Structure formats: structure tokens, C-alpha cells
Amino acid sequence: MDRLDALTLFARIVETRSFTRAANGLNIPRATATHAIQQLETRLGIRLLERTTRQVRPTLDGQAFYERCVHVLSDLEAAEASLRPAAASPRGLLRVDMPSVHASHIVLPRIDDFRRRYPGIELALGSGERLVDLVSEGVDCVIRTGSPGDSSLIARWLAAIPQVICASPDYLAHAGLPQQPDDLVNHHAVKFFSAGKAIDDTFSFVIDGKVQEFPVGGWMSVNDAGNYAVSALRGCGLIQVPHYHVEVDLREGRLIEVLSEWPSPDMTVSALYPHRRHLSPRVRVFVDWVSEIYAEKFGMRER
């Protein structure tokens, strides 16, 4: 294994915390990976990795060496990409993940345009509310809502999406209209939760320029954005949801907006990808394209 291949392998082991996952991702035998790292450590005269029965992690020297490797490999990829025809017409597999509602309402209705522009890209699109681990699962790019929480990823802002609070006519006929945010504690709301996070039992409002949260009552929680809207349609309670998701139901009267004089904060959306992917032609063209899609649908609202 040459030096650049060894650097790529080492970086992948640090990112996945596993010799096996790194070897599988590079399509080499695990024994080859182990031997290559031993040779690298011998050549450098330092121990790069600490190995336990459960995990592999870099030593202090190994972490410093990894950070240098990332820059070297990124510079090499950029240099090659600038000379290859693939820079203008990228090819290969691109793995992306996004919330299911964003896939069905925003991205997939325009996916034929992406295919026309980049026929050489094979797209593997995952959708759902689960927060994937990009590095260990080999995902190139994700679309996520809310403030990016992983500082190890590069984030590109896509949109600020208006939200509304609404409920079905039947629910409001029975429970009455809330007149102010404090009334929510006496109403039923459909609550939302996602993997690894507690159930969200608050609604947010922008008051005097600041976001404030108010507790909500309710008996039902869901972890899927599609089911969130369906629950409101069936009279289970109030929901706070991006306007685009329920605009048809609002227009046709199946849902009714409430507390409109108390503005909800916009929902921010970003594309995130690992540092080592930031110069990949496939990732670059996808993020540029999806940025256009969100800008066309939601406009360039204030970040």
C-alpha cells in the first residue's frame, strides 16, 4: 500500500473508530488494513492509534497527524478534480439523507432536473427523522432542520421556512380558540420526538424580537413529520409546523391557523457534510442544486 493510500486508510479508521468499517469502506481485507497501519506507525516512529476490544481512537499524536492528513487529502482531491472532466460532469455514487417531508415535498418533485444536469451521478437517497452518523454510515451529505449541532461538519444554510400553528375545525369547535400563548397549556397539542431526544412539549413564539417557549398539553406524540400533520387532521390537537407542509389543508379548510398575531420563529434548514467531502464534485453540485431548489421555493429570507 502506497503512502497516500495509507493516509486515506488512517483517516478513515479515525473517522469510523473501526479497522473493520474502514477496511470494508475501502474494499480491502482487514488484515491488510492492520498491516498498513503498523507499517505507517513504524515509519513515523510513533503510536497513532489506541486499540481496545470495543473501539479504536487516535492518540494525541495520532489526532494531530489526522488533522494534517485531512488537509493533504483534501488538497490532493481538489488538484485532481480541477484537471478531470469529472469536475464539470461528476460521476459515481452519492449518498444523501433528509427528512421525509423535505424529500417528498421539496427535493423529489424536482429530482428529474438534477438527473438531466448530472446524468453520471447515481443517487442513494435516505429519508426519515433519524439523525444519521455521516462518517460511520458513509453518507456524503444530509439536509437537517434546526441549528447544526455537530461542529465537525461543514454547514451550508439553505432556507428559513415560515411556521404556523393550526388544528382541525372539529378540534377547535370542541376546545375553543387559544387567545394567547399562555392558553396552550390548557389545550391538546400533538408533541414531537426524534431519535435520542426527549419529547418536545413546547411551542415557540417570537416576542419582542426573542424566541420564547410555552408549554403545551396533550396526550399524543409522534416521531414522523407526515404523521404529525395527519394527527392534527384527525382532531388530536394543535401542531406547530412549516407552512408549506400544510398549505393545501389550510387553503381548503381542513386545518385552521390560530395565534397568527403571535409569530412563530422560522425553521432553519441546512445541508451538512464532513470536512473531507467539501471538495468532492458530487457533493458540491448536489449542494449547489439543492440550494437553488430551496431558494426558489422559500426565497432568500433573513438567516
Q: What is the mean pLDDT of each run of 10 residues along the chain (303 residues)?
A: 89 88 87 93 93 84 88 74 62 89 94 94 86 76 82 86 96 95 94 80 93 93 91 97 94 97 94 73 92 89 49
Q: Is 303 within the bounds of a domain? A: no
Could you tell me the three cell numbers for 250? 389550510
Are 236 and 168 in the same domain? Answer: yes
Which three three-digit cell numbers place residue 272?
Answer: 451538512
Q: Are 34 and 44 found together in one domain?
A: yes
Note whether 144 and 272 are same-domain residues. Answer: yes
Please tell me whether the overall predicted TM-score, pTM, comes out greater than 0.85 for this model: no
pLDDT for res 173: 96
Q: State whether 247 and 177 are in the same domain.
A: yes
In a shared domain, residues 156 and 274: yes
Q: Encode burial over 67-91: b for 16+ CB neighbours within 10 A, e otherwise.
A: eebbeebbeebeeebeeeeeeeebe
φ, ψ for residue 71 (rounded to 5)? -65, -45
CB 165 within 8 A of CB 238: yes
The pLDDT, as a whole number, for residue 2 is 86
On whether both 250 and 171 belong to a single domain, the answer is yes
Structurally, how many domains does the chain consist of?
Answer: 3
In whole angstroms, what is the distance from residue 197 CA to residue 175 CA?
29
Mark whether 167 and 137 lie in a shared domain: no
Three cell numbers at 165?
Answer: 400553528
Mark whether 170 and 258 lie in a shared domain.
yes
The CATH number that applies at residue 222 is 3.40.190.10
Q: Quick one: 45 and 194 in the same domain?
A: no
Residues 156 and 238 in one domain: no
The domain of 142 spans: 86-161+268-298
Pairwise CA distance, residues 77 & 72, whole Å = 9
pLDDT of residue 195: 67
Same domain, 151 and 275: yes
Q: What is the pLDDT of residues 79-93, one digit of tens each?
A: 766 665 555 678 888
What pLDDT score does 303 carry? 46
* Residue closest to 47 by CA, chosen among 38, 56, 34: 38
Q: What was the pLDDT predicted at 88?
A: 61
* 62 within 8 A of 49, measured Cβ to Cβ: yes
User: For residue 240, which amino acid is it?
Assistant: Q
pLDDT in tens, 238-258: 999 999 999 999 999 999 999
